[in-house]
Amino acid sequence: MACKGRAQAGSAGGPLLSTLRDRRILLVIAGGIAAYKALDLIRRLKERGAAVRVVMTEAATRFVTPLAAQALSHDRVFTDLWERDAEHDVGHIRLAREADLIVVAPATADLMAKAAHGLADDLASAVLLATDRPVLLAPAMNPAMWASPATARNRRLLEADGLRFVGPDAGEMAERGEAGIGRMAEPLAIAAAVEAILSPAAGPLAGRRAIVTAGPTHEPIDPVRYIANRSSGRQGHAIAAALAQAGAEVVLVTGPVAIPPPAGVRVVPVETAREMLAAVEAALPADIAVMAAAVADWRAAAASGEKIKKDAGGPPSLALAENPDILQTVSRHPRRPAFVAGFAAETENLLANAGAKLARKGCDLIVANDVSPASGVMGGARNRVHLVTRDGVEDWPEMTKEAVAQALVERIAAALAGKTGALA
């Protein structure tokens, strides 16, 4: 047994962790099969020195027992809004205020809906309504439920209220044959997100605000068809994660992707270029903007309200309209960030096109990469980029997208620190 204030080692012979030492976490466990992972999350948080108190919904007790959560947390488990026989008066107000952070894992569609609309008919939802502390949600539900318009609306409302999210991940579901985005993030990922909120690293970008765009945009032609591209969003998500690790407060505006969002980042999901621009402008002011999204250049001038049917007259005529230029708008904005980076995804004349884009857009740096099919960049895990500035071009070797992100963030931090030649 570790001494009070010390955490047990995370692995045999490993170092003692204390990143959350003396921090108080209120863990809300909602009713879903992923509730069993919450027991491991308790252990992971306590390994890091946190004191963990648990609230369980009635549905959660059908998947894991309060006794199991109590044995792991070493504290009483609370389940009833009306219970008054505690050793001391710990009502929902006190539970809501005594924690440094509230973590909801799993966060079911039902509990998200209650929190989004201010309902408080059980202990868990009452705590979420009454708290003035940070809240981290780890959603877990069937992919169809996660993708539903209602859940998407509720997520946007919760994000607008300042609640943060980690996950969900993609993978197999408990239901036979079901797969997609909806799995609860793994306990280690949730613990890392908790650390990012409560024990942020004093990195080179501490105190800075950053906006990152990522992924494709989907421009509707009719209710079932759209104009898009092959972007996976991996590079933009990696950049958002690297900025957060460097201490920045990050807003990630992402088009439709099939990868989980990075921990410690506020995610704003969008569909179209116009929605992406609106979300970026809403996130201003910021110190840093990295526009890594592969935004569709055009959209249907008039999207059909019904599915366009085949007929004997051949394919329909599709009139196109130009989408807003997000990079140029941000680069010339009255609230322009101190550092603006864009991406040039080209299949030919890479450096010439990137240089022209730098001059035309008015940004500080262009990250140029070859996205021709032979490169494997779009949808792949690796990238080979060239940094184009007014001082010249720097060629980087092929590396993982995560390594590209780390190196790029180092350059941005150096530029903001005013180091001579940081981007030359």
- Residue 260's pLDDT is 80
Cβ atoms of residues 35 and 64 within 8 Å: yes
Nearest to 206 by CA among 409, 387, 422: 409
Q: Is 391 annotated as a binding residue?
A: no
- The string over 217-244, giving b where at least 16 C-beta atoms fall within 10 Å of a residue's C-beta and e elsewhere, is bbbbbeeebbbbbebbbbbbbbbbbbbb
343 is in an annotated binding site: yes
The 3 state secondary structure assigned to 81-128 is CCCCCCCCCCCHHHHHHHCCEEEEEEECHHHHHHHHHCCCCCHHHHHH
Q: Is 66 annotated for ligand binding?
A: no
pLDDT tens-digit profile of 114-159?
999 999 888 999 999 988 889 999 999 988 899 899 999 999 899 8
- pLDDT given at position 12: 35
Is residue 419 a known part of a binding site?
Answer: no
Q: How high is the pLDDT of residue 173?
A: 67
Which residues are marked as active site? 229
Q: What is the pLDDT of residue 376?
A: 65
For the chain, the structural domain boundaries read: 24-198, 209-416
Tens digits of residue pLDDT in 57-89: 999 999 999 999 999 999 889 888 777 655 445
The whole-number pLDDT of residue 109 equals: 94
* Average pLDDT, consecutive stretches of 10 residues, N- to C-terminus, the chain (424 residues): 34 49 92 91 91 93 92 90 58 78 94 94 90 91 90 90 84 69 84 80 84 96 91 93 89 91 84 96 95 95 88 80 96 96 89 93 93 69 90 90 91 82 44
Complete DSSP assignment for 388-413: EETTEEEE---EEHHHHHHHHHHHHH
Tokens of 281: 């402008």
Q: Which two tokens stand for residue 59?
A: 């549905």
Determine the pLDDT at residue 312. 60
Q: Please tell me the class of the 209-416 domain.
A: alpha beta
Asked whether the whole model's pTM tops 0.85, one would answer no
d(CA 387, CA 110): 46
Distance from the first to the final alpha carbon of the chain = 54
Check if the beta carbon of residue 183 is closer than 8 Å to that of residue 34: yes
3-state secondary structure of 227: strand
- Candidates 108, 135, 84, 134; CA nearest to 33 is 108
Q: In CATH terms, are 24-198 and 209-416 the same topology? A: yes
| Fold classified for 24-198 | Rossmann fold (3.40.50)
What was the pLDDT predicted at 160?
84
Q: What are phi and psi of 136, to 5 degrees?
A: -115, 125
pLDDT at 26: 94
Angle, CA of 200, 205 and 208, to the nearest 5°:
95
Let me know: does 252 contact 265? Beta carbons within 8 Å. yes
Is residue 364 a known part of a binding site?
no
Q: What backbone torsions phi and psi does residue 74 show, to the nearest 5 degrees?
A: 60, 35
Is 122 annotated in a binding site? The answer is no
